[in-house]
């Protein structure tokens, strides 16, 4: 098996991988290949037929397929090489990428590797719902694929666990297709999805949302017959005596997304315990030199526009890395207090302005986000509200830095 040399191997042909490839080609890097395990490019956007994409990136509202088509068309016009129906099975720290395709085993030696594998849904097993194991239980994305890609209805009466954005979008989608969606239940005392989806997908269709509730039993044998729902206390534990039964033949789970990082781990990339994605510096370079990550494999985004913009910023760093053979060291760590779930990047150089992304752990109103160095406030961001569902982004100016000490981000 001959080893194929490439300047850049991109793992994943979704919105992050496509945006990175187009930007790299635009910057003069032509020796690129995209490896995609699905039959077509586009990633999850192929099944997201609702609109609302593209307002930030293209200044107009697009459906998921329309959004991805913008990048697919550009990649085709630039003659960017891509191989679909191809699964990457290993990446080494030396940037060797091994994949399996219809043509057999492929082995690439890259100067740089871009990780753009996206994320996957948390399953019933991961959250430990008790009860039987009947047919009729789907993750929200799986149900979306059945309906939008395969024209197959999943049921007639549905209950949704989790107020994630895909779950709420599926509540509306199934309602429009004639399914009776009885309710959406959320474990946390606040919704986990975007406010616009609560309004447009639930309130507009009279679908109730119950926070501080969870499913404590599943009933049925060959097919789901119903679920038992209980209220939970401040420790998220079911409260005895609050059980209520709901008859249904379909349960949709929208209980969180996890970055797809098995290949990252195989490569030796260090992961952040908070994001479950890679630890990266301001160049989106991981702890393995020449291996970069962007998109939902790095952190779960609320808008696909931010995925594309992040991947384009990554591509600029990849060009610099290939041209110079290395990137500036990033010795300033970014930490956060308990009110913040994570920050991206985790390390910066202090040599230039850098975009910081973060999420809060719980909803807060009239808050102030302070960036501190040596106990001195070097940046302040005021917000009327901050919620976990919405990513907060701001620019940290190089001129504001007072030293090379650790930076801490706090909410008050």
pLDDT band of residue 248 (cuts 50, 70, 90) is very high
pLDDT at 172: 97
Question: What is the predicted pLDDT for the residue at 377?
Answer: 94
1 pLDDT above the threshold of 80:
no
Percent of the chain at pLDDT > 70 equals 100
What the block records as the tokens of 80 is 């960017």
End-to-end CA distance of the chain: 58
What is the rounded average pLDDT of the residues 351-373? 94
Domain range annotation of the chain: 1-118+260-327, 122-256, 331-411
Q: Reply yes or no on whether the pLDDT at 375 is more than 80.
A: yes
- The rounded distance, in Å, linking the Cα atoms of 280 and 270 is 9
Q: Which fold has domain 331-411?
A: Immunoglobulin-like (2.60.40)
Name the DSSP letter for residue 2: P
DSSP sequence for 316-347? HHHHHHHHHSS-----EEEEE-TTEEEEE-SE
**Residue 157 contacts residue 249 (beta carbons within 8 Å):** yes
The dotted CATH code for 1-118+260-327 is 3.50.50.60
Q: How far is CA 77 from the centre of its chain?
A: 28
In the predicted model, is pLDDT for residue 17 greater than 80?
A: yes
Residue whose C-alpha is closest to residue 356's, from 282, 250, 262, 287? 282
Q: What is the mean pLDDT of residues 56-61?
A: 92
Q: What are the tokens at 112?
A: 């740089």
Taking residues 275-286, report their average pLDDT: 96
Mean per-residue pLDDT for 324-336?
93
For helices 304-324 and 15-26, what crossing angle results, to 10°? 40
**Calpha distance 239→369 (Å, rounded):** 35
pLDDT in tens, 226-245: 999 999 999 999 999 999 99
Same fold, 122-256 and 331-411: no
Q: Find the angle CA(183)-CA(188)-CA(192) to the nearest 5 degrees.
A: 75
- Residue 357's pLDDT band (cuts 50, 70, 90): very high
Instruction: Flag whether pLDDT at 284 surpasses 80.
Output: yes
Q: Which residues contact 262 (CB under 8 A, 6 or more apart)?
A: none
Tokens of 99: 């994949």
Residues 361-366: what's their mean pLDDT?
Answer: 94
Interval 13-30 mean pLDDT: 97
Residue 396's pLDDT is what? Answer: 95
User: Under a CB-based contact definition with an 8 Å cutoff, are residues 3 and 109 in contact?
Assistant: yes
Q: How far apart are CA 222 and CA 148, in angstroms?
A: 25
Asked if residue 20 lies in contact with residue 43, where contact means CB atoms within 8 angstroms, the answer is no
Return the pLDDT at 412: 86
**Which pLDDT value is given to residue 126?**
86
CATH code of the domain occupying 122-256: 3.50.50.60
Residue 214 binned pLDDT confidence (cut-offs 50, 70, 90): very high
403 pLDDT above the threshold of 90: no
Q: Which pLDDT score, from 0 to 100, does residue 387 have?
A: 94
Question: In whole numbers, what is the pLDDT of the chain averaged over residues?
Answer: 95
CB 401 within 8 A of CB 373: yes
Residue 154 has pLDDT above 90, yes or no: yes
Between CA 411 and CA 339 the distance in angstroms is 6
Q: What is the pLDDT of residues 83-128, one digit of tens each?
A: 999 999 999 999 999 999 998 999 999 999 999 999 999 999 888 8
């Amino acid at each position: 098996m001959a080893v194929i040399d490439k300047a850049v191997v991109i793992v994943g042909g979704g919105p992050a991988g496509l945006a990175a490839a187009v930007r790299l080609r635009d910057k003069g890097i032509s020796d690129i290949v995209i490896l995609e395990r699905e039959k077509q490019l586009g990633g999850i956007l192929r099944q997201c037929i609702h609109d609302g994409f593209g307002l930030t990136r293209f200044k107009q509202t697009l459906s998921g397929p329309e959004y991805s088509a913008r990048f697919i068309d550009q990649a085709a016009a630039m003659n960017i090489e891509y191989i679909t129906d191809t699964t990457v099975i290993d990446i080494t720290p030396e940037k060797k990428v091994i994949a399996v395709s219809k043509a057999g085993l492929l082995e690439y030696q890259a100067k740089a590797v871009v990780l753009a594998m996206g994320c996957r849904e948390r399953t019933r097993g991961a959250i430990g719902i008790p009860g039987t194991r009947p047919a009729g239980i789907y993750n929200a994305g799986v149900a979306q694929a059945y309906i939008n890609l395969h024209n197959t209805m999943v049921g007639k009466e549905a209950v949704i666990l989790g107020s994630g954005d895909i779950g709420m979008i599926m509540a509306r989608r199934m309602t429009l297709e004639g399914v009776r969606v009885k309710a959406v239940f959320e474990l946390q005392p606040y919704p986990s999805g975007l406010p616009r989806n609560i309004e447009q997908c639930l309130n507009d269709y009279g679908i109730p949302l119950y926070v501080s509730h969870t499913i404590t039993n599943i009933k049925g044998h060959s097919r789901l017959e119903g679920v038992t729902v209980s209220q939970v206390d401040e420790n998220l534990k079911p409260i005895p005596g609050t059980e209520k039964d709901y008859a249904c033949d379909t349960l949709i789970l929208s209980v969180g997304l996890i970055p797809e990082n098995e290949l990252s781990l195989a490569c030796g990339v260090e992961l952040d315990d908070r994001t479950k994605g890679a630890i990266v510096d301001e160049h989106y370079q991981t702890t393995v030199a020449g291996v970069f990550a962007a998109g939902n494999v790095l952190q779960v985004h609320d808008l696909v526009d931010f995925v594309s913009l992040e991947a384009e910023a990554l591509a600029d760093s990849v060009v610099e890395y290939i041209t110079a053979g290395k990137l500036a060291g990033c010795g300033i760590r970014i930490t956060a207090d308990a009110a913040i779930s994570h920050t991206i990047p985790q390390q910066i150089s202090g040599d230039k302005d850098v975009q910081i992304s973060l999420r809060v752990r719980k909803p807060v109103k009239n808050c102030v986000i302070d960036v501190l160095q040596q106990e001195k406030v070097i940046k302040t961001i005021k917000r009327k509200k901050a919620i976990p569902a919405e990513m907060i982004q701001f620019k940290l100016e190089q001129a504001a830095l007072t030293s090379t000490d650790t930076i801490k981000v706090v909410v008050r």
